[in-house]
Structure 1
Amino acid sequence: MPVFDNTNFLVIDESQNREGEAGGSSAAEIGRLISENGGRATFCDPAGCFGFIDQHKITHVITETAGFADEAAATETMVPVTTGKWVWDSVALAQKRNYRLYAPSPAPFMDKVVVCVADNVAQGDKDTIYAGVRAFGGQYLDALLRYTTHLVALDLTNNKLVVAANIRRKDTGDICIVLPHWIDACVRQQRHVLETPYLLSNPKVLQTGKPDFSADGGEPAPEISKLAHTLVLAHKSVYLADDFAVYLADDFAFSEHLRAAIVSLIETLGGTVQHQFDLGHIDVYIGKHRLGAQFQQCFAAPRIDVASLHWLFHIATQGHYIRPLESNVLHFPIPTRGVPQFQNLRISITGISGDARHYLAGLIAAMGGTFTKTLDCNNDYLVCAQRLGDKYHAAHLRWPDVRLVNHLWIEECFSTWLFLDATDSRYASISSLTQPLGKTRLSRTSLEGTSLAEHIIPLDVDDSVGDSMAEQDGAERFAGSASLSPVMQSPKTQSPAIQPPAPPSPLPVARFSSFKTAENSQLTDFTQENSKTPDIFTPSPGEVVVVDTTSLSSPVTSQVRAGRSAKAKASLKLHSDMKDLNQYTSMSKSSRKMKSYMEQLEKTATPSKKKRESADASEPEPVQPTPKKQKTDTEVHLVAILTGCEQILTLTKSDVSKLLKVGIRIVNDYNPKKHIDTIVAPRVLRTEKFLKSLSKAQKIVHPSFLSDILSRHTLTSLSWSELIKEFNIEDYLLDKVVPVKQINDDLGVSGKASGLQRLLSQDLPPVFKGYALNFSLNLVGGADLISSILREHGLSDSKTVKFTAGTRKSGLLSMDGGTTILVAHKTKDKKAASKIEGVTVVEWEWCVKSIFHKKAQEYESYII
């Protein structure tokens, strides 16, 4: 399937505004690339595209700079806005990339930031940090991976910090370990603040007691709110009106430093914060839940806007004021009780990615349902954008119990807080005529009818990166195929209902309308816990800094005072842990020191149990070594590698273990020295794993083979012969599940017979045996990656060259017959290719089609 199949692009042609600039791709080049890969492009200049998104059913906007005329509509409907480089990279990798990594200029201040928060930070602070980071252009992962850029922690007493040090050592990447105060400073100043004063190893922010530092990390910045206000207004076209009075509800259990950051942000936007509830002096009430007397009084006063923290972040990023009930449904506080019928529902999504997917997942979780990234036969609903994709076909053809609905069903269930009939034609219709996502609004009538006698359902923290690293169904994500699949889910246990006082009589209406309107955004809501801020100290010169910041965000759970002895022990333990960690980090940088340390450890290690037994015995006897328990090796009958399966199947460690027990070994990455006989993929792909594994694989099976096996409750009791009899692998071969025509189209093969038969033949020699190829530096993905793929298919020698008009045949590798082949970029190397003589210059497609045909193709169709 083409990368941009059924995708409508709006390409902003900025050529008139960029005359004389070097580099970049023209709108025409981008349009051609989109068309060649199945998409449709509509072109327009930045000022003349107003209304195009709705008129042309646009799904993606391509622009190098923000500020085009229809940007508000893109924000409202959560249409991805990205750059031309995203198009090039998506085509090169044969899958839609995470568009949030390709932000148009000016990029948001959290651009390229991927945050992970340590487990000892209060849940309320953690959720708010994640929401803020995502709102201002960053992403988050609640598990530490090599993609994490910042770990937010309070002290050294957490496992994630040790893991972060290990990741930094192995992958030579720097994970900044910072205090939550760094996030606070970024929010206050509305810019990416230098991390140095906030590093946990030397937290100047705590030593000085100053919350903000200058851009270079030096002295604390004076009058930071005025500075931030100036910085914000420099990037906004509309000056926000001053002195709108905001009241932050008590159901936000922020830590003191985080609450101060939110207050500062409000002041930065031109508002003031009311610390005492006074209905007559409040213009905006910001709360988490639709609960309590204060909420009811403010909601009953039409002049007061009742909003959520999502709304505050939204107007901060957009630079416009908009009333919450006239924007995104998440811009209003949510009920504290889920929709009862949603409690046990498992709901997955297909054809919707990025912010839109994150938004729908938040609605599902808020109503009490479970959002699953993957689809299996246990799902109840699949939200579809179109009748395409592996998930759709699996639900439609294999699992009739999975009900298909459009996004409108989720949005209107949320807006009415009712379980609506999914068989209604408005929700069962899956077509482009459905109301665009993000257009649903809350009505005051439905809100007044919502019961307020509710109990709280906290939301689990989900990752913002996992869903969006690759957009399309079946695309391969960065985290690997055999990884955990986080879900957004509400707990099964519920607290007793809280009965609030009856709402007061309506107050006189005085419409609050001193702000201009704009569009909406989306975030997830958060769960808060009480916390407090510790005293600030200044260490003496030369003293080892040990910062006990546990109380910064930890909830106060007891009034019993801990003894001084216990406190002293804890302090010593923390000091010792920090010293050990520093020593270990230092040693890990030197292989000689680490080797010496391990040898010393082996010599000094003495089993304490044997010592005690020897001391207690009246007559010492020779100690017999306890025989080690022999590990029984399970016979392996099938070794498989997964690629592009994430939208259908994501394996947990438990799943991998179960499969191994019945004779199926799953490998995460391709290794030329290890055996692989099976590729598990939903279709013919062009990923690195797929292309390399074709050199060894004997069969390609659909991921439903593994998902059906894992759905069997008594799996481990089966022998291999019983398993194969019940789940005949021949029935799951890719050309038995996917139409042969689609497979042949993807392979570029003609005829009615499946092209997989020749592709998987082990009798044919390697495609590139005896070939010596040259690779241009301009190749997307890198010459080294392409060379490594072709070496698995017999490539003898290769050379990477900077292909220019001055490149000559004498500087290139030639084959025995004198033929010189240069694999180059179809567009970027076109000019140089026209001037070189005696060299056959072909595009990367020649290599791919040669692999798919199991035979080197003629050059003519691929010459640049």
Structure 2
Amino acid sequence: MSLFEGHRFLIIQSSELSATKAENLKKQIISTGYNEDGGILIKRNSDLIPISNEKLVKVTLIVSNTIDFVEYQLAEELMIPVVRDAWVVDSIAANLIETLRSYSPDPKYFLSSVSICCAASICKGDKEALFSAVRSFGGIHTDHLSRRTTHLIALDTDDDICRMAIAFNQACERDVIAIVRPEWLLDSIISKRKLEEDKYRVGSKDRSPEPATSVLFKGRTFFLDDDFNISSRVSSSLKTLIEQHGGKVDSEDRANTYIGKYRAGDMYQLAIDEKWPIGNLNWLFWMLLHEEWITPGKIMLHYPYPREALEGMDRVVVSVTHYSGDSRLYLQQLVEIMGGTFTKNLRQFTTTHLLVAKPTGEKYKYAQEWNIKCLNHLWLEESYAKWELQDDSDPRYLKFGDQVDVAHAVGHTSLDVGLTSSQNTRIDSQNVSSSLEMPRKKAKPNSKPYNIVAILTGCDKEFSASDLRNLNKVGIKVVEQPTNSLNCIIAPGILRTEKFLKSLSKSPKYLLTPMFLIDVLATVHSHKLDDFEHFKPHIDKYDLSKHINFKKDPKMKEIFLDPSLGAQNIVNLIENSNSKLFESGDFCVSATIPGGPDLISSIVKSFGCRVCLIIDKKTKRLPKRVAATRYLLCEAKDQPLQNHFRKLAEKEHYRIVEWNWVVMSIFNTKLVDRFIIDEN
């Protein structure tokens, strides 16, 4: 089977890709076993007569080192990938299909060489906004580090993904993965070019955007809804982007254009009533990229998404065949927004639908054998547009390849259905002047009742994505990993978990029981947001110290020096926990310590330890001591390692301590004198 099976090529001959190179490229493609009849067309870019739409729609890939050819604009509209000749060469060399986006010849996609990943310190709302931005300007994004990752976006380096990137860079002896603040990406978009990373390293505060200006948004005043749940650093950059292109960002009283994430909320309804243009961040970035105003509903993913999943979509598992590049990404986004599952591979007893661009290849063959429904993209697009799963036996959805005309090419379905505001809404283009003349309704202010960034650990109850969104509405942001902005730990008691211990290094203001979140959600569901402030649960009621029996709970004796102090122990924990507890020590951690040396080391480091070495009986020497005291952290019964350590550190000030010494020191916010095995 050829590497390029199913593809039909159009090679554009130009001054950047000579006739000789074009012919050689054709031979290279054929050398892989490619034998599609008429599957490779070669055309000069100087030919001003375009190939027919019927021929172009059959093309799956255009190879060109320039965008200066008459078919380019239509190819973009049809989501036909356009790549430089290097894509073919590199794919053959690697014997796999390389990422298409990285090979775009279009200079407006100035982030085509960029692949970003976000660290735990980036909140979900910022992550989604940054992903939309990099995708719009030609880059790619992943949830995990990969061989293609070029940039890791972070606010600090205090998480596993950052440590992994740092270790990888050290092993490579160069910064293969640049660890930068979100401002690097946002300022690059503001400047319309990829900026140097040096000024945007984590820990620095420098910025050097070079704003590109236009009058694209002249007369437009945007209202940015808070349902994106983005940070002030991202929202301020969006404001700068809009202002440098002639627009403004203001309150609902002065706005005439709405940008939001979901088709819900007071401001969304106000925008409908006022007949404002309504779009999302995809829409904003598309206009900035193309320097062109477009009606939001023309491209479905430019309009705010429904908040809830489509009924029945939770049972739908979709894979695709012969869709590539942006068309594949577009279909994946539709599936996931609707609440379905998108899979790369076809699975016999799992996959329910295969979207087919051409009825050829292994996926199509096995889908038929396994009785998986084979449909074209229209079934998915129209299900989204009408917000109702369409009849998958409709003959219109069973046409593939040449049977689908240009008018029904992928991405050409638009939102034009008059449904409720919580579903699809008919989109009508409105001019600014008519919007300004409409009467205004007052919307609620954007202030939130709480200002909490919380981490959950040890909780039996699971909170759904909908729960987390509702919590966010009232100012409670739940994060997965402890970051510098953390100010609350939510747990059923005082725990020795990794999350609980590391979170204490962030000097939290609150230690609360999970019932706090449960009661907040109950209040959100039973009252309007406008009235929430009057009925909101008071934080003091859920103080963890009020739910612990310090005298009778034996665990309290294991972690507090004086349990009889009762709630005062929690007060001390809140007032004095900090990230410098262990900065006076260099730690050697036993390779066989329960819990694992990597986990234990990461906890000690979160409290200020700068040198943390994993050792065993084969360790020949210790590095030069940086701090005042060297510690060995091991089990009390590990006498052989203790004796070995004594020989290595015989002339130094050292302590040999148990893991319980670390735990008790953390909970008492000072270095304790218990669980010390030996000291020199």
Q: TM-score category by the smaller chain?
A: 0.5 to 0.7
Alpha-carbon shift at residue 82 of structure 1 (Å): 0.6
User: Does 2:580 correspond to 1:572?
Assistant: yes
Aligned residue type for 2:296: P
Match of 1:297 in 2: 270
Match of 2:431 in 1: none
8 A contact 1:386–1:431 mirrored in 2: yes
Distance 1:609 1:228, change over 3 A: same
Alignment of 1:699-714 (within 5 A): none
Distance 1:314 1:566, change over 3 A: same
Aligned residue type for 1:363: L
Aligned residue type for 2:196: L
Aligned-partner Cα distance in 2 for 1:277–1:94 = 54
Alpha-carbon shift at residue 570 of structure 1 (Å): 2.5
Alpha-carbon shift at residue 446 of structure 1 (Å): 4.6
Aligned-partner Cα distance in 2 for 1:111–1:350 = 24
User: Does 2:137 correspond to 1:136?
Assistant: yes
Alpha-carbon shift at residue 595 of structure 1 (Å): 6.3
Aligned-partner Cα distance in 1 for 2:70–2:170 = 47
Give the count of matched residue pairs.
485
User: Does 2:447 correspond to 1:422?
Assistant: no
Alignment of 1:551-570 (within 5 A): 566=574, 568-570=576-578
What is the aligned counterpart of 2:410 among 414, 437, 444?
Answer: 437
Alignment of 1:401-550 (within 5 A): 402-434=372-404, 435-446=408-419, 450=423, 495=466
User: Does 2:349 correspond to 1:357?
Assistant: no
Match of 1:387 in 2: 359
User: Does 2:636 correspond to 1:608?
Assistant: yes
Aligned residue type for 1:186: S
Distance 1:48 1:451, change over 3 A: closer
Distance 1:169 1:73, change over 3 A: same
8 A contact 1:120–1:153 mirrored in 2: yes
Match of 2:91 in 1: 90
Aligned residue type for 1:277: E
User: Does 2:307 correspond to 1:336?
Assistant: yes
8 A contact 1:49–1:70 mirrored in 2: no
Aligned residue type for 1:96: I
Aligned residue type for 2:193: R
Distance 1:24 1:107, change over 3 A: farther
TM-score by length of 1: 0.50
8 A contact 1:286–1:306 mirrored in 2: yes
Match of 2:45 in 1: 45
Alpha-carbon shift at residue 257 of structure 1 (Å): 0.5
8 A contact 2:13–2:42 mirrored in 1: no
User: Does 2:621 correspond to 1:596?
Assistant: yes
Aligned-partner Cα distance in 1 for 2:506–2:205 = 13
Aligned residue type for 2:578: A
Alpha-carbon shift at residue 187 of structure 1 (Å): 3.0
Which digits, 9 at most, give the CA deviation of each residue in 1:507-540, with x for residues without a partner?
A: xxxxxxxxxxxxxxxxxxxxx98599999xxxxx
In structure 2, runs of 5+ residues without a counterpart are: 426-461, 486-504, 509-515, 518-537, 544-569, 584-603, 643-680
Aligned-partner Cα distance in 1 for 2:619–2:286 = 50
| RMSD after superposition | 4.1
8 A contact 2:417–2:424 mirrored in 1: no
In structure 1, runs of 5+ residues without a counterpart are: 206-211, 214-223, 234-238, 453-490, 500-527, 536-547, 615-864
Alignment of 1:758-773 (within 5 A): none
8 A contact 1:35–1:41 mirrored in 2: no
Aligned-partner Cα distance in 1 for 2:77–2:572 = 56
Which digits, 9 at most, give the CA deviation of each residue in 1:783-842, with x for residues without a partner?
A: xxxxxxxxxxxxxxxxxxxxxxxxxxxxxxxxxxxxxxxxxxxxxxxxxxxxxxxxxxxx
Aligned residue type for 2:22: A
Aligned-partner Cα distance in 2 for 1:50–1:583 = 65
Distance 1:2 1:610, change over 3 A: closer
Match of 1:73 in 2: 74
Alpha-carbon shift at residue 372 of structure 1 (Å): 1.5
Q: Which has the higher contact order (CA 8 A, sep 6+)?
A: 1
8 A contact 1:156–1:577 mirrored in 2: no
Q: Secondary structure at the match of 2:223?
A: strand
8 A contact 1:125–1:254 mirrored in 2: yes
Aligned-partner Cα distance in 1 for 2:259–2:137 = 19
Alignment of 1:634-713 (within 5 A): none
Alpha-carbon shift at residue 146 of structure 1 (Å): 3.9
Alignment of 1:107-256 (within 5 A): 108-174=109-175, 175-200=177-202, 202-205=203-206, 212-213=207-208, 227-230=210-213, 240=216, 242-256=218-232
Structure 1 range deviating more: 571-580 or 410-419: 571-580
Match of 2:435 in 1: none
8 A contact 2:108–2:289 mirrored in 1: no
Match of 2:661 in 1: none
User: Does 2:7 correspond to 1:7?
Assistant: yes
Which digits, 9 at most, give the CA deviation of each residue in 1:719-758, with x for residues without a partner?
A: xxxxxxxxxxxxxxxxxxxxxxxxxxxxxxxxxxxxxxxx
Aligned-partner Cα distance in 1 for 2:116–2:189 = 14
Which digits, 9 at most, give the CA deviation of each residue in 1:634-686, with x for residues without a partner?
A: xxxxxxxxxxxxxxxxxxxxxxxxxxxxxxxxxxxxxxxxxxxxxxxxxxxxx
Distance 1:451 1:363, change over 3 A: closer
Match of 1:759 in 2: none
Alpha-carbon shift at residue 61 of structure 1 (Å): 1.7
Aligned residue type for 1:321: W
8 A contact 2:228–2:261 mirrored in 1: yes
Alpha-carbon shift at residue 192 of structure 1 (Å): 1.8
Distance 1:343 1:387, change over 3 A: same
Match of 1:269 in 2: 245
Distance 1:344 1:173, change over 3 A: farther
Alpha-carbon shift at residue 5 of structure 1 (Å): 3.5
Alpha-carbon shift at residue 255 of structure 1 (Å): 0.3
Alignment of 1:736-747 (within 5 A): none
Which digits, 9 at most, give the CA deviation of each residue in 1:478-525, with x for residues without a partner?
A: xxxxxxxxxxxxx996759x99xxxxxxxxxxxxxxxxxxxxxxxxxx
8 A contact 1:136–1:317 mirrored in 2: yes
Aligned-partner Cα distance in 2 for 1:66–1:564 = 65
Alpha-carbon shift at residue 340 of structure 1 (Å): 0.8
Alpha-carbon shift at residue 403 of structure 1 (Å): 1.3
Match of 1:348 in 2: 319
